[in-house]
């Protein structure tokens, strides 16, 4: 390894050899403290690092993200957890620092998708955060530093192969960025705009009231979208992402996907789910998968037989009516979209999952229709004037 480059085992796939990362500057702005991160690991690491650094800068709170395949599965700041969320995230008997809470929230937004994630932490990784990471199925972590206790724990993970990267907080890349596709070089100004509350000033609906907690959620959604493969829509509540619809060709499919994830997140807090009779010693990822199946409408009796090895007994599943009644309590949700809403179907779907506040760029030929739909639901919607496509 030279100071300015790092040779990798292979690229995106094992047959893509001759892989490396390098910089034209004097040295790389990070240190690999443990493990051997691969090509995709580094892509996740640097995208996720930008996200948490920006969240920290705009909220001044510890921030964390759970990243998979170059998009976030969840992002959050370190606000306190409710008792139901502690139980849903399997941390009810753990003392959490604000930094650890941020990661617990980030991973809790979509626990199934976070399986085998890359974690990014905005602050020094402390002992509670390291314990959470150590007990999670995760490929690696990037942070500005680690306490000695935290580093000792993480170095034992994955038989000593857990990837740990220390990032230079002060590092800023060049203004111009380049990439090659099919031998052709693309060049553009880096998307270095810093999202802030000024982007929420232009509220175009009759309802102009966006409380401070919703502003934080809207900013979290915008920063998350900035580093999510487009098209994308993000639902946020209580300082964390609760659903991301990423990489869809249609805006309505982004909204449906994000909304369904938000619904699942909220249903995980239903008393029936919180009190599922798991057998002792069942790993958390088995619990996550079973909960996902338990909430699924299309699970077959054959698949249900597998639950005997995980549950002490199989309780009655939630009916369609049970779910609808519980989801009627999901309220005050914030939604961000990386591009404008071309049709009102997005609003109709979003409101079914508790959306009350929206930020989007605006600029559609049908903006008036979208505004009218929001007015019908008393939604407060801001036009940011800022598209956040990421490819």
Enzyme catalytic residues:
68-69, 231, 391
Taking the C-alpha atoms of residue 348 and residue 343, their distance in angstroms, rounded to an integer, is 10
How far from 24 is each of 173, 177, 248, 352, CA to CA, in Å?
11, 12, 34, 50
DSSP secondary-structure letter at 102?
H
- 175 near 151, Cβ under 8 Å? no
CB atoms within 10 A of CB 68: 20
Q: Which residues pair with 75 in a beta bridge?
A: 65
- 202 near 382, Cβ under 8 Å? yes
Residue 195 backbone zone (phi > 0: left; psi -120 to 50: alpha; other: beta) = beta
**What dihedral angle (degrees, nearest 10) is formed by the CA atoms of 42, 48, 54, 55?**
-160
3-state helix, strand, coil in the chain (%, to 5): 35, 25, 40
CB atoms within 10 A of CB 256: 20
Helices (H), the chain: 39-59, 83-88, 98-108, 127-134, 148-154, 212-226, 251-267, 271-274, 284-295, 301-304, 320-327, 345-351, 367-376
CB atoms within 10 A of CB 23: 15
- 231 near 249, Cβ under 8 Å? yes
Taking the C-alpha atoms of residue 174 and residue 187, their distance in angstroms, rounded to an integer, is 12
- Under 8 Å CB-to-CB from 102, ≥6 apart: which residues? 61, 62, 63, 64, 76, 77, 78, 121, 122
How far from 389 is each of 10, 47, 219, CA to CA, in Å?
28, 14, 16
- Under 8 Å CB-to-CB from 197, ≥6 apart: which residues? 215, 219
């Amino acid at each position: 390894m030279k100071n300015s480059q790092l040779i990798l085992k292979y690229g995106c796939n094992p047959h893509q050899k001759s892989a490396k990362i390098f910089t034209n500057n004097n040295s790389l702005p990070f240190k690999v403290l443990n493990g051997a991160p691969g090509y995709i690991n580094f892509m996740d690491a640097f995208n996720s690092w930008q996200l948490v650094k920006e969240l920290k800068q705009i909220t001044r709170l510890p921030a964390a993200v759970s990243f998979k395949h170059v998009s976030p599965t969840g992002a959050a700041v370190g606000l306190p957890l409710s008792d139901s969320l502690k139980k849903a995230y399997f941390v009810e008997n753990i003392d959490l620092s604000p930094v650890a809470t941020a990661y617990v929230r980030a991973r809790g937004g979509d626990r199934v998708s976070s399986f085998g994630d890359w974690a990014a932490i905005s602050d020094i990784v402390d002992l509670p955060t390291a314990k959470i990471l150590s007990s999670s199925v995760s490929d690696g972590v990037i942070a500005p530093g680690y306490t000695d206790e935290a580093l000792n724990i993480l170095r034992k993970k994955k038989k000593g192969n857990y990837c740990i990267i220390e990032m230079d907080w002060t590092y800023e890349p060049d203004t111009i960025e380049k990439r090659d596709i099919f031998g052709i070089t693309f060049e553009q100004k880096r998307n270095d705009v810093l999202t802030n509350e000024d982007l929420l000033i232009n509220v175009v609906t009759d309802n102009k009231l966006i409380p401070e907690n919703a502003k934080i959620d809207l900013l979290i959604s915008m920063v998350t979208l900035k580093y999510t493969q487009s098209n994308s829509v993000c639902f946020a509540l209580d300082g964390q992402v609760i659903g991301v619809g990423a990489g869809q060709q249609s805006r309505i499919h982004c909204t449906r996907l994000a909304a369904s994830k938000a619904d699942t997140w909220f249903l995980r807090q239903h008393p029936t789910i919180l009190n599922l009779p798991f057998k002792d010693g069942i790993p958390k990822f088995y619990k996550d998968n079973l909960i996902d199946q338990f909430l699924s409408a299309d699970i077959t009796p054959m698949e249900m037989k597998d639950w005997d090895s995980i549950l002490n007994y199989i309780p009655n599943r939630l009916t369609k009516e049970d779910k609808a009644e519980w989801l009627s309590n999901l309220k005050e949700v914030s939604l961000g979209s990386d591009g404008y809403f071309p049709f009102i179907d997005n609003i109709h779907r979003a409101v079914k999952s508790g959306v009350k506040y929206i930020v989007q760029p605006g600029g559609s030929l049908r903006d008036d229709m979208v505004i009218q739909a929001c007015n019908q639901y008393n939604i407060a919607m801001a036009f940011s004037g800022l598209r956040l496509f990421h490819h």
